Amino acid sequence: METIPQNDLNPKLVPQPEQTLLEMQGIQKVFLTDEVETHALSDVHLKVQKGEWLAIIGPSGSGKTTLLAILGLLDTPTAGAFLLDGKPVQDLTPSERAHVRNRHIGFIFQSFNLIGDLTVFENVELPLTYRGMAADERKKRVEQALERVGMSHRARHMPGQLSGGQQQRVAVARAVAGDPLILLADEPTGNLDSKNGQSVMKLLSELHRAGSTLIMVTHDPAYARLATRTVTLFDGRIVDEGQNLAREA
C-alpha cells in the first residue's frame, strides 16, 4: 500500500521557501582621517530573510551605526557586495540610493526626526509626497498608518504637543506608510523612559507579527531577545549570531 507523505495530510507542514531580502558579502568600511585608517567594518557577511526580525547588538564603537547606515543606503561600503531584494546596490549613485530608500526602506530613529512645523499628518505624508503619489492615495495611506500605531486622534497636532512616546509612534507611522521592504530601527527606545520604551517595542512586535521585516540596533539585551535573531558586532566584525528561541510575548 502506498504511503501518503505527511505533508500531503497537513499542508501546514509543507516548508515555505525563504526569501532573502538583504544580503551582504564581505562588506568593509574604512574611514581615512589625518592619514589614519579606521576599519569600521571588516568582512561582514549577513543575510536577512523576509519576515525576519534581526537585532544588532555590541559595545560602543563596534560598528553598529556604520552597518545600519550602509543597510539604509545612507553610506556606501569601501568593498564588498550588497544586494537588496536580489539587486546590487553598493555602487548606486546618490540619486539612485535616495530613490531606493524612499520606496523600499523605512527608518525609525532614536531622535524621532519629526519636522516641528508640520502636523503629525504632514510628517507621515511627506515621504509619500516625494514619491509623487496622488493626494487621495497619500491620504489613505497616512490614515491607515496612524490608525495602525494608535495616533489617529493626534493627526492635526504638532510634534511639540506630543510626548516622546507619541512622537516615536508617529515616526513608526511615517516609516510604515510607504509599505517598505525593510524597516530599520536605530535605538528606537533610546530617548524614551521605560514605560514608553516598552510601548514602542510592543508596537514593533505587532508590526513584525503582521509580516514586517525589521532590523533593529539596540543596547538593551531584553529588547534584543524579542527579535527572532541576534547579531553581535565587535571591532567591526560579526562575532556571534543565533536564533532567539525563548522569545518573550
Exposure string for 71-110, b = 16+ CB within 10 A, e = fewer:
bbbbbebbebebbbeeeebbebeeeebeebbbebbbbbbb
Buried b (16+ CB within 10 A) or exposed e, 163-178: eebbbbbbbbbbbbbb
Q: Which residues contact 183 (CB under 8 A, 6 or more apart)?
A: 105, 106, 107, 108, 175, 176, 207, 212, 213, 214, 215
Q: What is the pLDDT of residues 101-122, one digit of tens each?
A: 999 999 999 899 999 999 999 9
pLDDT of residue 244: 78
Architecture of the structural domain at 50-75+92-243: 3-Layer(aba) Sandwich (3.40)
Tens-place pLDDT, residues 134-164? 999 999 999 999 999 999 999 999 999 999 9
Instruction: State how far the Cα of 29 lies from the Cα of 40, in Å rounded to an integer.
Output: 5
Cβ distance 119 to 162 under 8 Å? no
- Neighbour order of strands in the sheet with 87-88: 36-49, 20-33, 79-84, 87-88
Interval 8-17 mean pLDDT:
45
Q: Domain coordinates of the chain in residue numbers?
A: 50-75+92-243
The residues, any chain, with a CB within 8 Å of residue 224's CB and separated by 6 or more, are: 55, 57, 216, 218, 230, 244
Query: Is pLDDT above 70 for 3?
Result: no
Mean pLDDT value of segment 91-101: 91
CA-to-CA separations, 161 to 151, 164, 200, in angstroms, rounded: 13, 10, 18
Q: Which helix (H) or strand (E) holds 49?
A: strand 36-49
- In the sheet that holds 214-217, the strands lie side by side as 105-108, 182-186, 214-217, 53-57, 229-234, 237-243
Provide mean pLDDT across the span 242-249. 64
> What per-residue confidence (pLDDT) applies to 74?
93
- Grid coordinates of 230: 541576534
**In the beta sheet, which residues pair with residue 32?**
37
- Residue 84 φ then ψ, to 5°: -115, 120
